[in-house]
């Protein structure tokens, strides 16, 4: 589960929320966020099966995916099973059931106190500093929220900044223990979050420790491209 997607840039439509005191269990998503892509498709009566073509997205062989609603493209591992994912704001998820590995791309359009351009520039200059200004000690805040909303008990939480191509990311990771059909195993979650033009994007990879492969998520992040909607709008005029 991606916690960052639920708490980045949380501002009310009527008055700013005190982000340092947000409890995710009490957060009104309708107040903090704009419409999700899933909700957009449902309102437009578009089939939710991701393998069925529609005018808002394209899924090609090799798991090459384009989303025209958010103006982005990505490339998930070949032969992984593709679906929408479980999160309200998940756009696409790839998984291998036998190894319990998943990668999800999550997009959260936030209702921002400041403009989307300011949010974009602040985060791209200094991701971790921006989040610390908003939430106080962001690492500690995230740890508290993970423990309050997650069924698992995460540990060894860490985060840092990383620039991949032209995009700056806040990178977070944590470990957890899980039991499936009586079998216990240790797992790891690694997420790459960025904020661009008022939208929080997260690519999150989860896998058992014995199968964890950093190159899988690195490749997905490196092959994800975000297009500036303002440039596209200008080109269409």
Q: What is the model's pTM?
A: 0.84
pLDDT digits (tens, 9 = 90+) for 46-99: 999 999 999 999 999 999 999 999 999 999 999 999 999 988 899 999 999 888
CATH code of the region 4-236: 3.40.1000.10
Q: Do β-strands 199-208 and 225-226 pair in parallel, antiparallel, or remain unpaired?
A: unpaired
Query: What is d(CA 95, CA 77) in angstroms, rounded to the nearest whole number?
Result: 9
Coil vs helix vs strand at 104? strand
- Contact between 102 and 95 (Cβ < 8 Å): yes
pLDDT by residue, tens only, the chain of 237 residues? 344 444 443 332 333 333 344 343 343 444 445 789 999 999 999 999 999 999 999 999 999 999 999 999 999 999 999 999 988 899 999 999 888 899 999 999 876 555 455 667 889 999 999 889 888 899 998 888 888 877 778 899 999 999 999 999 999 999 999 877 778 889 999 999 999 988 999 999 999 999 999 999 999 999 999 998 766 544 444
Domain-wise residue ranges, the chain: 4-236
The partner residues of 173 in beta bridges, in order of sequence, read 158, 190
Of 54, 27, 21, 20, residue with least CA distance to 38: 54
Query: What is d(CA 176, CA 142) in angstroms, rounded to the nearest whole number?
Result: 15
């Amino acid at each position: 589960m991606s916690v960052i997607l639920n708490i980045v840039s949380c501002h009310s439509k009527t008055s700013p929320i005190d982000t340092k005191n947000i409890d995710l269990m009490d957060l009104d998503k309708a107040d903090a966020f704009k419409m999700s892509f899933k909700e957009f498709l449902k309102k437009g009566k578009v089939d939710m099966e991701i393998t069925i073509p529609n005018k808002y997205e394209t899924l090609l062989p090799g798991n090459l995916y384009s989303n025209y609603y958010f103006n982005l493209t990505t490339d998930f591992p070949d032969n992984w099973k593709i679906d929408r994912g479980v999160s309200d704001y998940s756009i696409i998820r790839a998984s291998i059931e036998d190894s319990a590995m998943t990668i999800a791309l999550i997009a959260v359009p936030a209702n921002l106190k400041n403009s989307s351009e300011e949010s974009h520039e602040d985060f791209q200059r200094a991701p971790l500093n921006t989040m610390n200004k908003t939430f106080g000690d962001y690492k500690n805040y995230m740890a508290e929220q993970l423990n309050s909303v997650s069924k698992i008990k995460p540990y060894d939480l860490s985060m840092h900044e990383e620039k991949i191509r032209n995009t700056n990311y806040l990178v977070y990771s944590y470990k957890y223990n899980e039991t499936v059909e009586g079998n216990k195993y240790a797992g790891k979650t690694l997420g790459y979050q960025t904020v661009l033009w008022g939208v929080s994007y997260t690519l999150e990879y989860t896998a058992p420790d014995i199968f964890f492969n950093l190159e899988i998520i690195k490749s997905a992040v490196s092959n994800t491209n975000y297009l500036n909607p303002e440039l596209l709008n200008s080109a269409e005029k």
